[in-house]
Amino acid sequence: MLWGGRFKESLDSEALKFSSSIQIDKTLLPEDIQGSKVHASMLKTIGILSDEEYEKISNGLTQIEEEYLSGLWKPDESIYEDIHSAIESKLNELIGQAAGKLHTGRSRNDQIITAVRLWVKKACEEILEVQKEFQNTLLKLAEDNTTTIIPGYTHLQRAQPISFAFHLLAYVEMLGRDCERVKFTSKMADESPLGSGALAGSTLPLDREFTCKELGFNNPSRNALDAVSDRDFLLEFLNSCAIGMMHLSRFAEEIVLWSTSEWKFIRLADSFTTGSSLMPQKKNSDLAELTRGKTGRTFGNYMALLTTMKGLPLSYNRDMQEDKESVFDSFNTYYSCLKMMKGMMETVNVNKTRYLDELKGDFSLATDLADWLVLKGIPFRQAHHIVGKVVQLAEEKGILFDELTVEDLKAIHPIFDMSAMECFEIKTALERKKTFGSPNPKMVSEQISFWKEKVKD
């Protein structure tokens, strides 16, 4: 134990097991080693450590990391409270008394949160990389489907025709916002708390600017009390994962629908689907379903830490030990789901002609006809009513839009002429779009080019 001097009895074995976090925070070993090496280097520069002591500590820490990563050293989880105390004990075993100087001017409060901030910065980089890979996958798929017409939906009812590329670009936009949230989270984590001590700094001349620079942080924290008790950046991280997973879940739901026999729009590769133990014919989109299902845990992780923090007085409280499990879990969940979704979309087969005949003369072209009337000078509300009558007539006759005649249209309003019939042509529906941000193939291609450049940043 690192704190047993004033106690007559050792901690109860069950109490130690209950309070231990080593099973979770061993993930932080590389970051803890990194922070300790820099702290030791700073202690040498201010004269606390001799050159010889520093070399012993630095080499000992390197050996610990190598032995841990290679499996030669596994800290006994029945003995240690956390990975930090395990490392310190192992260092003492390797180099003797010099190890006792490493903790000079440092509390586990600032030690741990420094390691966590380093880990979050690294995790943000890894998430950003796979987010952009997924964006590129979608952009490549979109580039091949700028004229692949599909129905666009509101209320899960057919609304207006769009292209598959346009639909995919909506998710590229979502991923773009997800990337910005992760970048912001990384910026929030980019502050060095090392040197804050337990809550009030130190009477030793610790060089916080030195450790900040050596650890790659942007600036040292300005208030020690806040530095050791701040978990806002972790909440931002959990929020980024939760929103990102929400977007993946929406996409997963569409993949599930598109791949059914009823929709017949996409076919997932065998390598990203599963079968049934009973029904030989089944091909299930289980990875999409699992992504959809795993979203709930990321929401729960965010709410769990938010709830933990809501009633804590300054500064550090042991409740905060519960922060890491949810953070590591959300990272692993979001990261793996991004990988799975990317894999599914890289290998998907798209039925490009699926809706061409089905949308021919479809009522989803009703708005185009209303716009035609507006250009003829009819007020939109009146045009809306007129087209509603056209739909009603087609339904009464049991026919589609393009099966109506000009005489049918003129019977509803005399302004109709042959040019109105062009509104019922599905193949030119996308080209008729005029506004920026619409599924006009030319504009979609421009957006694909825009995003290809943006993803490089």
- Over the stretch 122-167, which tens digit does the pLDDT of each residue have? 999 999 999 999 999 999 999 999 999 999 999 999 999 999 999 9
From the candidates 155, 261, 271, 277, which is the catalytic residue? 155
Q: pLDDT of 90-132, one tens digit each?
A: 999 999 999 999 999 999 999 999 999 999 999 999 999 999 9
Evaluate if residue 1 carries a pLDDT over 60: no
From the candidates 10, 50, 78, 276, which is the catalytic residue? 276
Which amino acid, 405? T
Q: Alpha helix (H) ranges present in 159-309?
A: 164-189, 208-214, 224-229, 232-258, 286-309
DSSP 240-281: HHHHHHHHHHHHHHHHHHHTSTTT--EE--GGG-B--SS-TT
With CA atoms as reference, report the closest residue to 227 among 204, 252, 205, 197.
197
Least confident of 11-20, 178-187, 397-406: 11-20
Average pLDDT over residues 61-72: 97
The question of whether 155 is a catalytic residue gets the answer yes
CATH superfamily of 113-149+162-193+222-350: Fumarase/aspartase (Central domain) (1.20.200.10)
pTM of the shown model: 0.93
Could you tell me the residue ranges of all domains in the chain? 4-104, 113-149+162-193+222-350, 363-456
Using pLDDT thresholds of 50, 70 and 90, give the confidence band for residue 13. confident
> Looking at residue 4, what is its pLDDT?
53
> Looking at residue 78, what is its pLDDT?
85
Alpha-carbon gap, residue 196 to 212, rounded angstroms: 12
With CA atoms as reference, report the closest residue to 214 among 206, 225, 202.
206
Alpha-carbon gap, residue 211 to 150, rounded angstroms: 56
Least confident of 15-19, 305-309, 443-447: 15-19
**Crossing angle (nearest 10°) for helices 108-143 and 29-45:** 130
Residue 406 CB partners (closer than 8 Å, separation 6+): 416, 417, 418, 420, 421
The fold for domain 4-104 equals Fumarase C; Chain B, domain 1 (1.10.275)
Q: Which CATH architecture has domain 363-456?
A: Orthogonal Bundle (1.10)
Percent of the chain scoring above 70 in pLDDT: 98
Tokens 């042991």 sit on residue? 318
Q: Are 167 and 442 in contact (CB under 8 A)?
A: no
Do the domains 363-456 and 113-149+162-193+222-350 match in fold? no
Using pLDDT thresholds of 50, 70 and 90, give the confidence band for residue 9. low
Tokens of 223: 């208030």
Average pLDDT over residues 243-253: 98
